[in-house]
Amino acid sequence: MTKTDKYIVFSIINVVLIITIIFKTVINFYLFIVIIILICFILNKLIDKKLIRIKDGDKKYFLSVTFPFIVNCFFLINYFTGMNPQKETYCFKNMISEIGGRHSHQKGKTTYIYLSENAYPYSYMTRSFFIDYKKMWGNNQITYTFERGIFGLKTIKKFQFMDNENCPDN
């Protein structure tokens, strides 16, 4: 397998792991991005000062493939070592999105939700769903099943949408 082939394969694996594992982890999205940028900056400086030894020309590969893979493995281990399932139930409202131009305007509900009591305000992926809106249609309550992994991070194992007459209308 050539270096280019490895680059492509591991990049695809990284994207799949991000979508399937990291997006199911309850983390402050903005803090996560800041930490990753800081770690990349520090790693870059350590590589430049030769404190981390990498073959010539492999710096780009390390920072764009190897480092994200290490981060993904951290979240993968946390996800699969989850234990003590706990259920949390919240009422929710869908985000309203507006599309169109100056003369044509349409509004519609999205699969991004706002939870009651402003639960998980900075955990973007806890409130975003890459599903067909029809699965959410007519529902106003969600029940999450969370587990806490070996590194102490909460992960979403299951979620279920349902209708509850005690929740405010969507």
pLDDT tens digits along 48-89: 888 888 876 688 888 888 889 999 999 999 999 999 999 999
pLDDT tens string, the chain, 170 residues long: the values are 787 788 888 889 989 988 888 888 999 888 888 999 999 899 888 888 888 888 766 888 888 888 899 999 999 999 999 999 999 999 998 877 777 667 776 777 777 888 998 899 888 888 888 777 777 888 899 999 999 999 999 999 999 999 988 887 65
Model confidence, pTM: 0.80
Rounded Cα–Cα distance for residues 50 and 66 (Å)? 17
What pLDDT does residue 4 have?
Answer: 79
Rounded Cα–Cα distance for residues 161 and 107 (Å)? 22
Q: List all residues 6 or more positions away from 90 whose beta carbon is below 8 Å from its beta carbon.
A: 115, 116, 117, 119, 141, 142, 144
What pLDDT does residue 100 have?
Answer: 67
Q: List all residues 6 or more positions away from 67 whose beta carbon is below 8 Å from its beta carbon.
A: 39, 40, 43
Rounded Cα–Cα distance for residues 101 and 82 (Å)? 46
Beta bridge partners of 90: 142
What pLDDT does residue 34 have?
Answer: 93
Give the other-Cβ count within 10 Å of 81's Cβ.
13
Residue 168 token pair: 């405010």
Residue 135 token pair: 């699965």
Rounded Cα–Cα distance for residues 153 and 138 (Å)? 31
Token pair 């900075």 is found at: 122
What pLDDT does residue 153 have?
Answer: 93
Rounded Cα–Cα distance for residues 42 and 88 (Å)? 38
Would you list the DSSP string of 9-46?
Answer: HHHHHHHHHHHHTGGGB---HHHHHHHHHHHHHHHHHH
